[in-house]
Chains A and B, each alone.
Chain A
């Protein structure tokens, strides 16, 4: 175990990518743009010694989709790289080539939010069942189940 990352180190390393905030004692967040995501992740891995991806969290703010890539390493500090995607064209190159575990998280996000990760080797359904309509993404804030649509499961007789 190494000592936790300090504010100065994270600021100095990451300031070229965007706003750096210290959210909590051991949590940092870098807000960057989708085109600089790959470089930011590379820097987090190489210069801040973050060896593993904890998860990719997603949120729908009603104006944008937010993606948070949380990393950590032996310094026990969480470094989050945050990007925003427009709701109309939620598309982003996949990270699964440089971050192997991102592959399964991206499939999940694709199911639930409809964000397209271009270049993903198999962006197929993983969480939603095979009967679920392709163009409906349940965790979007504006999604409402439609009574006439069949979402899977067993069809009951007489209905």
Chain B
């Protein structure tokens, strides 16, 4: 049978964010995949060059709605290192608490999306309900559900009151119980076992060769975690473990994320219980000396890298952001080769892609066995011709 090009996205019910795949398939088997990620390019790196550090942080939060704290923290800790500013321990702890709460809400969101992709909507409802407990905590602490805006160069914007700490601690047992439930489900729930197992396989060697990061790599036995490799904030003093798995498929990636939910809850509990007293920020200079830093941060989706260069002014000379999803696309393209078309949503969802088709349509001509795309204008011209034909007859 002839190879068929199937355009998927940028607007497609199975995709949560705008990305366009051109899937080259032979029957139901995927042969090759081409990507277009241009739909949400907003020029933030360019914008960051023309704003001072105070104004860059809120802008960077908008790189992503799910891991907004990740981008702001990666940038703030990089700039602080160039300025040689040491932020107070209390600020470090608060940043860590927000970071781990963010990881929890992101993983719960992912688990819901993945459950939805396999048609297991009960689990989707459950995880999203549990996620609200995390969202409520974040809202109480920062005032916002999405863009917490907790970071400042030199510390954090607002303090945690004893009552906020108590409320947050009181919510944890319920969350821990729910996470425990998901761990149990993963072992025995038929739907999850059937649809996650053996899908999107990737060996340890492949994960390294394709440059995969985060839970995608850790599910293939690669113990890479920036929190462990290059400890920042308080990860060196808090007891926690890097979660890895050896399954290497979508099931493994689910195991890693659920395991990380457990670890994150542990870190949040430890930080809330051991929150040191003291200031939440130190005055930081307006300008940074000339310098360069590669700031690594473990975002929920994997390692996030900010390459920052400063030039002695209050603006960054260059900010190069490498997001975890960009690093994971290569592995998705490789994973999908040879797989079934029906597994595209769940394999793509398994990396937790973070990125908004009407102009094209594929025409398969049965007479001469060819396939190709036509433009929207062409489609309109054809339908008009058809309509006029019908009018005449």
Which residues of A are in contact with B by a Cβ distance under 8 Å?
1, 23, 26-27, 51-55, 57-60, 68, 70, 72, 74, 76, 78, 80, 99-101, 103-105, 108, 112, 122, 125-130, 138-139
Given A72-B229, A126-B37, A127-B41, is A100 in contact with B327 using a C-beta cutoff of 8 Å?
Answer: no
Q: Which residues of A contact B292 (CB under 8 A)?
A: 23
Whether a CB of chain A sits under 8 angstroms from the CB of B136 is no
Q: Closest Cβ of chain B: how far from A16's Cβ, in Å?
A: 24
Residue B330 at the chain A interface, CB threshold 8 Å? yes
Distance in angstroms from B49 CB to nearest chain A CB is 9
**Do A101 and B327 touch (CB < 8 A)?**
yes
CA–CA, A72 and B317, complex, Å: 25
B323 CB to nearest A CB, Å: 10
Within 199-227 of B, Cβ neighbours of A (below 8 Å) are at 208-211, 222-224
Q: Contacts A60-B318, A101-B327 hold; do A129 and B211 have CB atoms under 8 A apart?
A: no
Q: Is the CB of A125 within 8 A of B38?
A: yes
B354 to chain A, nearest CB (A): 14
A108 to B45, CA, bound (A): 13
A101 touches B210 (CB 8 A): yes
Nearest-CB distance from A52 to chain B (Å)?
A: 5
Cβ contact within 8 Å between B322 and A55 = yes
Residues of chain B contacted by A101 (CB below 8 angstroms): 210-211, 327, 330
Known contacts A51-B208, A70-B294; A127/B37 CB under 8 A: yes
Give the residues in chain B near A108, CB-CB below 8 Å: 326
B307-325 near A? 1/0 per residue, CB < 8 Å: 1010000000110101000
Please, how many angstroms separate the alpha-carbon atoms of A103 and B35 in the complex? 12
| Known A-B contacts A54-B303, A57-B294, A129-B41; A100 and B230 likewise in contact (beta carbons under 8 Å) | no
| Cβ contact within 8 Å between A126 and B38 | yes
Closest Cβ of chain A: how far from B335's Cβ, in Å? 13
Q: Is B46 an interface residue (CB 8 A)?
A: yes
B211 touches A127 (CB 8 A): no
**Contact partner, A59, options B43, B224, B228, B320, Cβ 8 Å:** B320
B120 in the interface (beta carbon within 8 A): no
Q: Which residues of A contact B166 (CB under 8 A)?
A: none
B35 cross-chain contacts in A, Cβ below 8 A: 104, 126
- Which B residue's beta carbon lies closest to that of A23? B292
Which of the residues A70, A103, A122, A138 comes within 8 Å of B330, measured between beta carbons? A103
